[in-house]
């Protein structure tokens, strides 16, 4: 496993971490299988979505902010209930197939890290799941 550091610079933002994940997969020597990306935080999350047009990231973040306003009558007294809910909506893990040592993302896809209570120094766990040898020859 590798632990990526993600330094966020705003209270709420979506950051493309695809290059860091690709580097981690190379360094781990993962060639065939999948890569589990896990965010061990309660006010940050991770998702796969469009990375080609940066407006999509902004729209996703805007929608989460509108869906879960900061100033509702929450019971959680820490003042960041909205961030807990927003990160739950985004999710805390994604699984990406790996083939030939490369992430098998779709043409427009990227790995997006979601900060909802920043800025902070965050961590993303990159957990390699290597296919058992010979799996490629298995037939249905």
Q: Which of residues 62-81 bind Zn ion (CB under 5 A)?
A: 78, 80
Residue number with CB closer to Zn ion (20 or 80): 80
Q: How far is the CB of 92 from Zn ion (least distance, A)?
A: 15
Binding pattern for the stretch 91-120 against Zn ion, x by CB under 5 A and - elsewhere: ------------------------------
Residue number with CB closer to Zn ion (18 or 80): 80
Distance CA 96, CA 99 (A): 10
For the record, the structure tokens of 41 come out as 């935080």
Residue number with CB closer to Zn ion (79 or 101): 79
82-107 burial by CB neighbour count: b if 16+ within 10 A, else e? bbbbbbeebebebebebeeeebebee
* In contact, 49 and 109? CB cutoff 8 Å: yes
Site residues (CB under 5 A) for Zn ion? 78, 80
């Amino acid at each position: 496993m590798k632990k990526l550091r993600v330094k966020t610079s705003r209270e709420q933002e979506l950051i493309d971490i695809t290059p860091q994940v690709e580097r981690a997969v190379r360094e781990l020597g993962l060639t065939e299988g999948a890569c589990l990306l896990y965010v061990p935080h309660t006010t940050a999350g991770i998702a796969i979505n469009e990375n080609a047009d940066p407006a999509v990231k902004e729209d996703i973040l805007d929608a989460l902010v509108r869906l879960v306003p900061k100033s509702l009558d929450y019971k959680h007294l820490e003042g960041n209930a909205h961030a807990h809910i927003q990160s739950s909506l985004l999710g805390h893990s994604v699984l990406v197939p790996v083939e030939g040592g490369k992430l098998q993302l779709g043409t427009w896809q990227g790995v997006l890290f979601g900060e909802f209570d920043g800025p902070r120094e965050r961590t993303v766990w990159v957990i390699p799941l290597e296919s058992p040898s010979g799996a490629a020859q298995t037939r249905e």
